[in-house]
């Protein structure tokens, strides 16, 4: 089937021939795998193969509404796959299968949709996952803003892996996989909200390979989380509250690009709260910190990894930062969204 239309119309969501041509040409052909090619209403996954990889399934879902659709370092399709892959990986799972559901506004250019789908397939191949089922809906002009994407994912957690925000213990070391705030700053640049010329690219990338490298040298890692909306500060507060501990970080140890630092100073933003889409925070036992850090720096997604703090016992549920001036301040959880439609 060859799709001859140039823009999405209401017929592409009507369940008939036009919709079938859209799905076959725009989605099934680029994603190209046997599970999707059957075009059934569900993907049928081999349980024996899943069971051979571990003893638990990880399942997650997320929706993506980023504005603008394209930004330095990625687009909504890059986010849709990398974000769900990373949600699975933060639980220690090996991501395997994704679904893809799109809501399209009438009149959306099919050329743009093809670019987004190509990005999704590129990131899926990079992460070693297959997009095996999906759904398409079309709404009238003005009823949605161009395109919204939902992806759900399934992965398998190997035996012996137990990652949880509740696992942090006093003495543990806090590691971040690289520079903070790149994605949030890149979206600001793409929205023309910065009156400066800044070469800031989103860090959007799948982290499953990095997590696998870390767990290979230290299956005892306590906590993993990707600091997306709410940034590093929010994730650290979640760890501290769930584990009943305190966390102290060092401002001078935080990896931060000068361009991002400058953008935050101009706009009065705190980089600790800026979104990241290709970074992770890890809490690891102190005896394993050096080997985990070395494994991270040996992986392309963790070359700038750094130790930024430690877990302490009191006061429970609090996060503190040792400032560059020798003082100490409380780092609270983000109360409201700094930047809307960031992912």
**Superfamily per CATH, domain 10-157:** PurM-like, N-terminal domain (3.30.1330.10)
Domain boundaries, the chain: 10-157, 173-330
What percentage of the chain exceeds 70 in pLDDT?
Answer: 97
- 3-class DSSP state of 330: strand
Q: Which secondary structure element, helix H or strand E, spans residue 297, and what is its range?
A: helix 289-297
Q: What is the DSSP string of 212-260?
A: HHHHHH-TT--EEE---TTHHHHHHHHHHHHHT-EEEEEGGG----HHH
Cβ atoms < 10 Å from Cβ of 111: 9
Long-range contacts of 64-68 (CB under 8 A, 24+ apart): 64/148, 64/149, 64/150, 64/151, 64/343, 65/145, 65/148, 65/341, 65/343, 66/187, 66/341, 66/342, 66/343, 67/145, 67/191, 67/341, 68/187, 68/190, 68/191
Q: What is the mean pLDDT of residues 89-98?
A: 98
31: its two tokens = 């994603």
Q: What is the pLDDT of residue 325?
A: 85
pTM attached to this predicted model: 0.95
Residue 65 CA to residue 53 CA, distance in Å, equals: 33
Beta bridge partners of 95: 155
Query: 116-150: per-residue pLDDT in tens?
Result: 999 999 999 999 999 999 999 999 999 999 999 99
Asked if the domains 10-157 and 173-330 are classified in one and the same CATH topology, the answer is no
Half-sphere exposure of 120 (CA within 13 A, CB side): 33
User: Is 246's pLDDT higher than 60?
Assistant: yes
pLDDT band at 1 (very low <50, low <70, confident <90, very high): low
Cβ atoms < 10 Å from Cβ of 336: 5
Residue 15 CA to residue 23 CA, distance in Å, equals: 10
Q: How distant is the alpha carbon of residue 270 from its chain centre?
A: 20
* Overall residue count recorded for the chain in this entry: 343
**Superfamily per CATH, domain 173-330:** PurM-like C-terminal domain (3.90.650.10)
Whether the Cβ atoms of residue 265 and residue 312 lie closer than 8 Å to each other: no
Distances 35 to 43, 133, 150, 236 between C-alpha atoms, Å: 6, 8, 19, 39
Query: 252-299: per-residue pLDDT in tens?
Result: 999 999 999 988 888 888 999 999 999 999 999 999 999 999 999 999
User: Is 196's pLDDT higher than 70?
Assistant: no
243: its two tokens = 């584990």
Query: Could you tell me which of 99, 95, 76, 78 has the C-alpha nearest to residue 87?
Result: 95
Phi/psi of residue 64, nearest 5 degrees: -130, 125
Query: 217-243: per-residue pLDDT in tens?
Result: 999 999 999 999 999 999 999 999 999
Q: What is the DSSP string of 55-92?
A: SEEEEEEEEE--SSSEETTEEHHHHHHHHHHHHHHTTT
């Amino acid at each position: 089937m060859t799709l001859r239309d140039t823009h999405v119309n209401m017929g592409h969501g009507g369940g008939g021939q036009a919709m079938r041509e859209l799905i076959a040409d725009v989605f099934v052909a680029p994603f190209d795998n046997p599970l999707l090619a059957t075009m059934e209403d569900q993907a049928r996954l081999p349980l024996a193969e899943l069971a051979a990889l571990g003893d638990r399934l990880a399942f997650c879902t997320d929706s993506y509404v980023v504005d603008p659709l394209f930004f330095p370092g990625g687009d909504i399709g890059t986010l849709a796959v990398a974000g769900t892959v990373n949600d699975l990986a933060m639980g220690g799972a090996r991501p395997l299968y994704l679904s893809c559901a799109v809501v399209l506004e009438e009149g959306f250019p099919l050329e743009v949709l093809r670019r987004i789908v190509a990005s999704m397939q590129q990131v899926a191949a990079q992460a070693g996952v297959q997009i095996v089922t999906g759904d398409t809906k079309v709404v009238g002009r003005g009823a949605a803003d161009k395109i919204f994407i939902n992806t759900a994912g399934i992965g398998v957690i190997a035996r012996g892996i137990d990652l949880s925000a509740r696992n942090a213990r006093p003495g543990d070391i806090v590691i971040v996989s690289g520079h903070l705030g790149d994605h949030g700053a890149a979206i600001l640049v793409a929205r023309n909200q910065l009156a400066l010329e800044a070469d800031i690219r989103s860090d959007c990338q799948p982290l499953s390979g990095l997590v696998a490298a870390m767990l290979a040298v230290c299956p005892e890692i306590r906590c993993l989380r990707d600091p997306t909306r709410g940034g590093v500060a929010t994730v650290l507060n979640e760890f501290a509250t769930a584990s009943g501990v305190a966390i102290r970080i060092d401002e001078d140890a935080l990896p931060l690009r000068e361009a991002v630092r400058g953008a935050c100073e101009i706009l009065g933003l705190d980089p600790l709260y800026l979104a990241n889409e290709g970074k992770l925070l890890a809490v690891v036992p102190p005896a394993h910190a050096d080997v985990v850090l070395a494994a991270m720096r040996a992986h392309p997604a963790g070359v700038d990894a750094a130790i930024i703090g430690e877990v302490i016992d009191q006061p429970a549920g609090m996060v503190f930062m040792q400032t560059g001036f020798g003082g100490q301040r409380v780092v609270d959880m983000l109360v409201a969204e700094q930047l809307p439609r960031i992912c």
